[in-house]
Amino acid sequence: NAGVTQTPKFQVLKTGQSMTLQCAQDMNHEYMSWYRQDPGMGLRLIHYSVGAGITDQGEVPNGYNVSRSTTEDFPLRLLSAAPSQTSVYFCASTLHQGSKGEKLFFGSGTQLSVL
């Protein structure tokens, strides 16, 4: 099992460029999410999906789009990159264990710089 695979690991963009961060999981989890990590602000939820074809906004969705055409893939799109989107991005998938709660599995992260 590869778990959660994120690509690329590093990316530099110019202001106004667009790009897609890829995320794939092979654990057949229904719930997937994207977080951004900024110094002193912890992890903030951008978007999440409870299953194929269903997405919803998290805490900081502006400037980002997501889609979920398959259970495995949950790409995050930056429509027009801004310096404020310089951050480390983590994709996660959630194992729901009923009465035992849940557990997130994170990808290794994408360090994005917008100049």
Partner 1 sequence: AQSVAQPEDQVNVAEGNPLTVKCTYSVSGNPYLFWYVQYPNRGLQFLLKYITGDNLVKGSYGFEAEFNKSQTSFHLKKPSALVSDSALYFCAVRDRGGGADGLTFGKGTHLIIQP
Which residues are near partner 1 by CB under 8 A?
31, 33, 35, 40-45, 48, 50, 56, 58-59, 90, 92, 99-109
* Nearest approach, Cβ of residue 14 and partner 1 (Å): 25
Q: Are 8 and 109 in contact (CB under 8 A)?
A: no
* Nearest approach, Cβ of residue 105 and partner 1 (Å): 8
Closer residue to partner 1, CB minimum distance, 58 or 75: 58
Distance CA 89, CA 70 (A): 21
Instruction: Point out which residues pair with 50 in neighbouring strands.
Output: none
Determine whether 37 is exposed, middle or buried from the number of CB atoms within 10 Å of its CB (0-12, 13-18, 19+). middle
Closer residue to partner 1, CB minimum distance, 43 or 82: 43
* Nearest approach, Cβ of residue 5 and partner 1 (Å): 11
